């Protein structure tokens, strides 16, 4: 049918060439092409929007991309490939429908001025600049004449600058027309995560106040992540039963939350400024063990081994007991380290934006507001905990509550060091949960005179036994690592060879110390639907446990990875589907949606 369409065009050209000559019009004169880039400079791994403005001569039209069976020559944009540069799909506007002589159905056409949009992403860190050359091919027609199809060349040049360079936008009138959603391969639009571009857009569109409000709400959402759970029993224990006025308790609780916020924001700004993986400074083996030791030490106070008190020197400096504001601030500063490894797309986007901004002051306050959102629930929890002694029938059941909290803290300590335990980790963790449930139901006699507490304690014990049984089911680890066929190249040559495939590619950036990485392997990649869906992909794992090798550092830089796990989806031609990128843990149902969109089915 394409050959017939070309033959028809040649026939029309022969029949009506006299009319065209009479007008003294050539096909190249019917359409003018002007290329634009939203900015003259590009940062590695960050997409830059580009546009082509087509001005079509009055009374002439060109054909829109459409059905291959149509008897027309569609407009097409071709780009010469450049190594280390990826391009999205060109986004065309809605065409008009025009009845054309000799064609039964109306044809989709463009007239006047139209603008096409795309994105360019530079992935090669060795490039200092890039010039992309291409052409727009079209067939120009009026109501009597169709001219021979031609191609108009164009080129777009970009300078490559380092992360943190201030870049001024250009041609705002052109790019205000661009669609707000990102177009990925295959023409599907997918709502993206909150990345650095979104945050920059928030600042520009909403102002700092509303941006800070949204960041605060993002901090609240961090309380749904597992690594902040240890703060709950610690907070209850630290503030529980204080015999102080409400005002003094509020001051201490506020200092406690401020301590968490200060630690979190400082660590976040350091990670953004250094470009290090957020979490790697906090979750390397030494720090993991340190956090686990801290949690076990705090759990011992729950079991009555000792009464937790701050160092005497600090207490003297504060001039008061552990109920003082300075003591609460110190406690918050310490426990901010426990909360800091909690990452997600929101935190990664904020880190990227802070790194680009290179403003320590604004970066600190953004993370400070984020951490205040994280800590707000603990302000109210501290106030509630200080009134525990006023609850009715306090007594032995309160000791039982502390025992439960102590077991939770030990469980979280084991959870934090799971990456260091290897294959035995699941057995140790599951065994501890089972033993805890058995202890609460059979051995622990605290609060047996409080019927409601005993019932609650038994329910917690039963739930613990059920969870441990599920964790210890045979075959879980085999299924997670055996049925999903990951490749682990260790050189750039092997990595590039692995990308030579007709399948879409899924890159898994992980680390042995990364807890969400293990959660993805144990919960998401064990789902039979996920196991079946990933068979359509070439699966590659990149180990960033140390990230000291040239190969790992190059890939981390190429794909702008700032946290693990990070999942990068590539089309078969190596182009990243940027709107599908995932940082952090995601449940199977949501991850399946990404897989289906990336594979096209």
Q: Element (H or E) spanning 416, and its range? A: helix 396-416
pLDDT at residue 274, as a whole number: 59
Task: Express each pLDDT in 377-430 by its tens digit.
Answer: 878 877 776 665 554 444 566 677 778 878 887 887 887 777 777 777 778 888
Contact 508, 565 (CB under 8 A): yes
Task: Express each pLDDT in 90-143 by its tens digit.
Answer: 889 888 887 765 556 778 889 988 999 988 888 787 788 888 899 999 989 887
pLDDT at residue 53, as a whole number: 92
Among 130, 163, 179, residue at a domain's last position: 179
- Is there a domain that residue 327 lies in? no
Distance CA 111, CA 62 (A): 7
% of the chain beyond a pLDDT of 70 = 69
- Asked if residue 160 has pLDDT above 90, the reply is no
Contact 519, 584 (CB under 8 A): no
Q: What number is the average pLDDT over the span 360-380? A: 79
Greater confidence (300 vs 168) lies with: 300
Distance CA 478, CA 525 (A): 11
- Is there a domain that residue 231 lies in? no
- Is there a domain that residue 344 lies in? no
Distance CA 406, CA 410 (A): 6
Domain with 492 in it: what CATH number?
3.40.30.10
pLDDT band at 538 (very low <50, low <70, confident <90, very high): very high
Among 153, 179, 205, residue at a domain's last position: 179
- Is there a domain that residue 200 lies in? no
How high does pLDDT run on average in the chain?
74
pLDDT at residue 7, as a whole number: 43
pLDDT at residue 135, as a whole number: 94
Among 144, 179, 214, residue at a domain's last position: 179
- Is there a domain that residue 439 lies in? no
pTM for the model stands at: 0.48
Q: Domain total for the chain?
A: 2
pLDDT at residue 178, as a whole number: 46
Candidates 553, 471, 573; CA nearest to 509 is 553
Task: Express each pLDDT in 399-408 by its tens digit.
Answer: 777 788 788 8
> Tokens 């207490």 identify what position?
315
- Is there a domain that residue 451 lies in? no
Task: Express each pLDDT in 542-586 by its tens digit.
Answer: 988 766 678 888 888 788 787 788 899 998 888 888 778 887 778
- Asked if residue 191 has pLDDT above 50, the reply is no
One DSSP character per residue, 477-544 reads HHHHHHSS--B---SHHHHHHHT-SSS-EEEEEE-TT-HHHHHIIIIITTSHHHHHHGGGSEEEEEE-
Nearest-5° Cα angle at 221, 216 to 226: 135
Task: Express each pLDDT in 440-453 by its tens digit.
Answer: 888 888 777 777 77
Domain with 29 in it: what CATH number?
2.60.40.1250
Strand order in the sheet with 96-98: 96-98, 107-110, 61-63, 140-141
E-assigned strand segments in 8-149:
31-37, 41-43, 48-56, 61-63, 76-79, 85-87, 96-98, 107-110, 113-122, 129-138, 140-141
pLDDT at residue 276, as a whole number: 56
pLDDT at residue 412, as a whole number: 78
pLDDT at residue 567, as a whole number: 92
Contact 564, 507 (CB under 8 A): no
- Is there a domain that residue 12 lies in? yes
Q: What is the domain range of residue 102?
A: 2-179
Distance CA 89, CA 123 (A): 17
Greater confidence (27 vs 238) lies with: 27
- Give the chain's end-to-end CA distance (angstroms, integer): 28
147-151, 257-261, 527-531, 588-592: lowest mean pLDDT where?
257-261
- Is there a domain that residue 544 lies in? yes
């Amino acid at each position: 049918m394409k050959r017939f369409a070309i033959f028809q065009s040649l026939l029309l050209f022969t029949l009506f060439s006299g009319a065209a000559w009479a007008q003294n019009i050539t096909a190249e004169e019917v359409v003018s092409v002007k290329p634009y880039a939203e900015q003259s400079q590009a940062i590695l791994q960050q997409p830059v929007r580009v546009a082509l403005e087509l001005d079509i001569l009055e009374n002439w039209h060109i054909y829109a991309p459409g059905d291959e069976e149509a008897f027309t020559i569609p407009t097409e944009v071709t780009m010469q490939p450049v190594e280390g540069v990826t391009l999205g799909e060109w986004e065309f506007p809605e065409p008009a429908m025009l009845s054309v002589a000799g064609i039964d159905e109306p044809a989709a056409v463009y007239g006047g001025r139209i603008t096409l949009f795309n994105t360019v992403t530079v992935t090669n860190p060795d490039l200092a600049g890039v010039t992309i050359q291409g052409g727009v091919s079209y067939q120009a027609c009026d109501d009597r004449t169709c001219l021979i199809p031609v191609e108009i060349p164009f080129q777009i040049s970009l300078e490559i600058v380092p992360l943190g360079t201030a870049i001024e936008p250009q041609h705002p009138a052109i790019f205000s027309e661009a669609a707000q959603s990102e177009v990925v391969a295959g023409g599907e639009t997918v709502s993206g995560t909150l990345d650095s571009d979104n945050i920059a857009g928030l600042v520009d569109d909403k102002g700092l106040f509303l941006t800070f409000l949204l960041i605060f709400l993002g901090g609240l959402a961090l309380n749904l992540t597992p690594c902040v759970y240890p703060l709950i029993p610690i907070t209850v224990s630290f503030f529980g039963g204080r015999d102080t006025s409400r005002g003094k308790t509020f001051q201490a609780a506020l200092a406690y939350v401020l301590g968490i916020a200060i630690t979190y924001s400082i660590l976040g700004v350091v990670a953004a400024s250094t470009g290090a993986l957020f979490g790697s400074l906090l979750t390397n083996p030494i720090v993991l063990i340190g956090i686990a030791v801290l949690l076990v030490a705090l759990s011992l106070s729950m079991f009555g081994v000792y009464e937790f008190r701050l160092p005497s020197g600090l207490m003297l400096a504060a001039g008061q007991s552990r109920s003082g504001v300075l003591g609460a601030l110190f406690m918050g500063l310490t426990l901010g380290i426990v909360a800091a490894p909690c990452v997600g797309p929101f935190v990664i986007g904020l880190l990227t934006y802070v790194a680009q901004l290179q403003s320590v002051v604004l970066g600190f306050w953004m993370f400070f507001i984020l951490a205040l959102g994280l800590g707000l629930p603990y302000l109210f929890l501290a106030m509630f905990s200080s009134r525990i002694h006023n609850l009715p029938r306090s007594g032995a059941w309160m000791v039982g509550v502390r025992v439960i909290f102590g077991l939770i803290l030990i469980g979280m300590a084991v959870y934090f060091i799971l990456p260091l335990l290897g294959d035995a980790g699941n057995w140790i963790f599951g065994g501890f949960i089972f033993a805890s449930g058995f202890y609460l139901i059979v051995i622990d006699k605290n609060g047996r005179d409080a019927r409601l507490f005993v019932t609650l304690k038994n329910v917690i014990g039963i739930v613990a036994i059920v969870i441990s049984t599920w964790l210890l089911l045979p075959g879980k680890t085999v299924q997670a690592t055996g049925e999903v066929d990951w490749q682990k190249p260790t050189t750039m040559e092997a990595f590039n060879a692995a990308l030579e495939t007709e399948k879409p590619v899924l890159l898994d950036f992980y680390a042995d110390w990364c807890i969400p990485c293990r959660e993805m392997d144990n919960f998401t990649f064990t789902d039979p639907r996920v196991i079946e869906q990933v068979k359509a992909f070439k699966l590659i794992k990149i180990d960033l446990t140390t990230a000291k090798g040239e190969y790992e550092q190059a890939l981390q830089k190429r794909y702008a990875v700032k946290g693990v796990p990070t999942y990068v989806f590539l089309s078969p031609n190596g182009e990243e589907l940027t709107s599908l990128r995932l940082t952090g843990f995601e449940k199977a149902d949501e991850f399946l949606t990404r897989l289906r969109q990336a594979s096209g089915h």
